[in-house]
Structures are given as structure tokens and as C-alpha cells.
Structure 1
């Protein structure tokens, strides 16, 4: 059963829709409403149903309680009098719509897929002139689900960590509504600890025929603590094989991804390989198991060397004192990305999807 919402001032409501006004802040009894709704404004331009009125949700989020699973979300955005520009993120700050623009009197009717975990779908809005006129949320079992298993370079961040971002949370904006990205990556995990914590088992429960499982580990496999460390010659490929076997047991498609490089350069401006034998281990395993490989290490090496030591600061989580609210004292992080950077890394992953001709994903790229 679909949930339909008509945004704008009180008054006539389109048949089958629930009216959402400035008074509709989230509470658990209703099961929907705006979160952090201060500053939301509403306008009525015309008497047309749905498109005649809207809300301006600048910096706001709209939450809806739903069961876990995949959903098709349809969104209407536009303004009869003015041009608009709307960006939408979903749970975990996943980017799904990037700068959807309309001219005065034009309306964008956009669809995207969302994988919900935790019983709530939350849509966050930004952009220079955001609008939302109407929203429809429909459970769907038809999409391909692209599962991600990995570490902090892949994971979804929270708003509290802005602008920190993993490439996995940028990936949804590259796909049409036929593909739902389920990002299970978690910071600090290795191929070993991810399994020990039951995270692979949780993915395995949801995997179905035709789905994909992208696997990127290595950053934390290098750590020397017993719960995480793996040996690149033995236990590292052994653990990675368990992900491959989990996908194939469900008739899903495993894809190995080499670790994205860190930002460390030598005196000649060449990137240092801090992952050493772990990269070769993934490449060799992909060949042995006949698994598609996206060589993100090689792709990121070329990108980072092209940008150089200074240019790569725009990719990684670098900022001076006061530059980022959540890092008021400044930050110099050579492992993790800011949003601009994670979007660029996600583009490299999409490039790999095309190169490997992962056909059922390629055909649904935007």
C-alpha cells in the first residue's frame, strides 16, 4: 500500500493524499512529519491539485515510519512562479537526487529507489531553491538491490560528521529507480571483523537472485589487533571468499573492489602504495574465482596523481580551523573523504561498472 503526501498550506487535499503543513512535525503516533522543521515555509500559487502549492524545506528532513525493505519513491518538485533547485538525500545521507532544476511553471517528477533499515525512511532536502509538492512511497520487490560490504571509505555518514562521506552513500544518485543501494559498510571493519559481527550474515538473509554484492576491504585488515588483522597471502583471501560464496549461494553477483588509496605522496609526487600486498591479493582472487573486479586502487591512483598533493585536499577530509562546523579545530585526514571527494570516487566505481559490463546495472544508470 502506497503512502501519499500533499505538501502546502491547509485546504483542499488531493484524493488519496495526506496533507502536510507547517504544523506537521514528526511524532511516532502519526508516523510521519518534519524533523528539525524550523524555518520551513509554505506557499500556494494556484488552485491546481498537488502542484499548485508546496513547501520550501530548506535544510529540513521529512520522516515516515515504514517497514524495512525496498521502496519506490516518487517526488514532485516545482514552482509556478520561480525556478527551483532541489537536492534530496535519504537515510544515512545517501544522495539520491542531485540539483534537480526546474524553470518557473515547470515541475520535475522524479523516482528513485530506497533500501530502508531501522523502520524509518527520512528524506533530507537542500539546494539553492528547494521545493516539494508531493510525495508517494510504495513498497517494491522489483528492484535490483546493490549491497555494499566495506569500511569507512564506503560507509554512509551521519549529518553530525559532515562533510565526511563514504563513496557508497553517493552511489544511489547514479541509478534510476530500478536499483536500490543497501550500504552495509561500517567504519573500522575488516573483512574478518565484518563477518564476526554478523554483518555478512545480515546481507545474506536479504540477498536474492540477480542482486549484487560489492566487496571492498583492506584498510583495516592491515591493523595488527587480533579481531581485524588478516594476512594478505592467506586469511585475507580466505575471508573474501566467504563473501563471494555468500553471494553465489543466493544466485547474486559478487564484485571485488580494490581499496581506494590513501593520500600519501613521495618526493616526486607519486602516490605511495600503503596497501601493499592486499591489492594484489584481491586482483589474484578475482582471477582465480572468475569474479568481476573494479580496480579502484588503480583508478584512484591515477586521479590522485593527476590532482597532486594540493589538489587531493579537495577530495579528502581536509579543512582549516572554523572551515567545517563539525571539525572546528581543523582536520587533516588522508584516508577519508569529504562529500565532493566521495562523489568523485563513486564516479570511478560507476566507470568500473561500465568497463566490466555489469549489464543489469549498466542499463539502469542515469
Structure 2
């Protein structure tokens, strides 16, 4: 089933579309509506179908109940008499539009892919002049799904978890609508515990031929508890190979990713390697199994050393007291990222995809 919405003041909708006004809060019986819509307003500029009126969703979410799966989403943004400025995140805070602008009288038709796993498709709006003219949500079996298995450096944030970000949250920003990112990474997991909790099984239930599985672990494989610890020379490789074998059984493509570095500098200004043999193990396994490798450790080392100890605070989850509303006492975290950092690391992953020519992904990148 395809969902079509026409936004603006109450009145007739274009044929085949459902009219949505500013005061339509989400209602489960209706199956759609705004959340946090106290500042949502509706405006009509003219009588043009779809483009002549719109809603202005300041810091609001628009939610639609849909079956789980992948969707092609088409959003029309524009205003007859004013420029617009919209930032948009989809399910699990995946960034798809960042400071997107239209000029007066311009109407942009933006398409992107969304993976739904909780029965709700969510659009979270920001920007100083956001607009929603019309929205179409169509189920899709044709998109490539890029699955992510990993830890907290990859994961999506919890709702309201700003400014925390994993690089997986930001990866959608680098793809057109032909590729959907399904981020199954979760904090605190190792290559071992991710499997024992059934998380790889959940990926495999959804995976199809032609999909990709990106695998980044190591941070928690170093932990001493039995549930997570793996030895880099033996069990770490053994567990990583399970991901490779699983993807190959579905005729999907596995991609190994070395652990992104932590922010620890020596007196000489060089980055300290806290992963050591775990990085060696991933590189060796990739060579032995003929698996594509994105050496995110090396890429992040170069980036962090170029920036230096002070500037890398803008990558990691650092903030003074009062700087972040959700971390009002301040924070100094040398492992996890803020949104700017998640975007920078995702950019390195995207760079690796292009360098390896992981066909057909590069042709679907922005």
C-alpha cells in the first residue's frame, strides 16, 4: 500500500491524497499525525495542487504507521513567496537532508530510502524554515539494503539522545534513495555477544541477495567478561567469520571494517592505538577470506592526527557544563561521537566504499 499526504490548511486534498492540517496530532486509530507539533502551522499561498499549500513543521515529527520493511519516500518542499531551509532525519535519527535550501518559488522533489523495524515511519524536521508540501511513502523490494553490525561507535542514538551519534546514523546521508541503511549496531556488544543475543539472526531474516553487511567490532571484544571477550588471534576471527559466512549464504556481500580509533594522544601528538592485535586480526581475516576491507582505523588515525588533540573534541562527545541540554554537567568522552563526529566518520566509510568500488554502491552515492 502506498501512502500519499497533502499538507496545508483544512480543505480539499488532491485526488488520491489524504489532507493533513497543522493540528492533526498522531493518533494510533488514524495511523498518522504530528508529534511535538506545538509549533506546526499550515499556510496556503495559492490554489496549485500540492504545491500551493504546506505545513511548517518546526521541531516536529510526522509519523505514519506502516508494515515493517523498506520504503521509497518522496517529499516535496517549496514555497511560492519565500526561501526554505530544512533538515530532515528519518527512522532511528538517520540523516537524509542537512540544511537543504530552496529559493523563492522553487519546489524540490527529494527522494530517500527508509528502513522500518517498529511499524512506524518517522520524519523528524529541523532547520530555520522547514516545509512539507506533499509526501508519498511507497513500499519497495528493489532497494539495496546496507546492514550494519557493530557497537556504540556505529549505532543509532536512542530517541532524545542528542548529541550522541554513531557513524551508522549518518551513513544514509551519502546515499540516494536506491540504498537503505538498516543499522542493527548496538552499544556494548562484541562480535561474540551480538551473535549470542540473536542479533545476527535478525539481520539474516531480512537480508536478500544483493544486499551488503558491514561489520565493525573490537571495542568490546577487549572487555574481560566472558559474555563479550574474544581473543584476537583465535575467537575474534572465528566470530567475525560467522558474519562473513552468514552474508554469503544469502548471496550478499560482507565488508569488514576495522575499529575506529579512540581519542588518546601521546606527548608527541601521535594517536595511541588502543586496539592493536584486534586491528591486525581483521586485516588478516579480510585477506584470508577475500573480503573487502574498509580500514577505518587507519582513516580515522589520519583524520585525528591532522586535527590534533584540541580540534578532535569537535568529533568526540565533548562539551562544557551547559553546552548540551542532555549532558548539562558536561562530558569528556574519548570513545563516542557527537553528531558532527558521526558525520565525519561516516564520510570516511563512504570514502572507503568509493575506493573499493563496492559495486553497485558507488553509483547510488550522492
> TM-score, normalised to structure 1's length?
0.99
Contact 1:217–1:258 under 8 Å retained in 2? yes
Displacement after TM superposition at 1:122 (Å): 0.6
d(CA) in 1 for partners of 2:226 and 2:158? 28
The whole-number CA distance in structure 1 between the counterparts of 2:293 and 2:217 is 13
Deviates more, 1:97-106 or 1:261-270: 97-106
User: Which portions of structure 1, spanning 4 or more consecutive aligned residues, are displaced by more than 4 angstroms?
Assistant: none
Q: Secondary structure at the match of 2:275?
A: coil
Give 2:332's aligned residue: 332
1:86–1:130 CA contact under 8 A, matched in 2: yes
Paired residues of 1:353 and 1:361 also in contact (CA < 8 A): yes
Aligned to 2:308: 308
Q: Distance in 1 between matches of 2:239 and 2:283?
A: 15
- The answer on whether the counterparts of 2:23 and 2:37 sit within 8 Å (CA) in structure 1 is no
1:358 aligns with 2:358: yes
Give the aligned partner of residue 203 of structure 2: 203
Q: How do 1:67-216 residues align onto structure 2 when only pairs under 5 Å count? A: 67-216=67-216
SS of aligned partner of 1:146? strand
Name the CA distance, whole Å, in 1 between partners of 2:339 and 2:158. 12
User: In the alignment, which residue of structure 2 is the partner of 1:229?
Assistant: 229
CA-CA distance at 1:231 after TM superposition: 0.3
Please give the per-residue CA displacement for 1:298-329, whole angstroms capped at 9, x wherever unaligned: 00000000000000000000000000000000
SS in 2 for 1:37: coil
Aligned to 1:38: 38
**C-alpha distance in 1, partners of 2:336/2:179?**
26
Aligned counterparts of 2:159 and 2:191: Cα–Cα separation in 1:
26
Please give the secondary structure, in 1, of the residue aligned with 2:95: strand
In 2, Cα distance between the equivalents of 1:210 and 1:201? 18
Cα distance in structure 2, aligned partners of 1:170 and 1:91: 12
**1:56 and 2:73 aligned:** no
Give structure 1 stretches of 5+ with no counterpart: none
Q: Distance in 1 between matches of 2:195 and 2:107?
A: 46
Return the alpha-carbon distance in structure 2 between the equivalents of residues 344 and 355 of structure 1. 17
Secondary structure, counterpart of 2:336 in structure 1: strand
Kept in 2, the 8 Å contact 1:215–1:254? The answer is yes
Q: Does 1:258 align with 2:263?
A: no
| 8 Å CA contact 2:3, 2:138 repeated in 1 | yes
For residues 250 and 18 of structure 1, what CA distance do their matches in structure 2 show? 39
Q: 1:128 and 1:271 mapped to 2: Cα distance?
A: 38
Equivalenced residues, count: 366
Counterparts of 2:223 and 2:81 in 1: how far apart (Å)? 57
State TM-score, norm by structure 2. 0.99
Task: Give the superposed CA RMSD.
Answer: 0.6
* 8 A contact 1:100–1:108 mirrored in 2: no
CA deviation vs aligned residue, 1:169-207 (integer Å, no higher than 9, x gap)? 100011111001000000000000000000000001111
Unpaired stretches in structure 2, ≥5 consecutive residues: none
Distance 1:128 1:225 in 2: 47
1:132 deviates by: 0.7
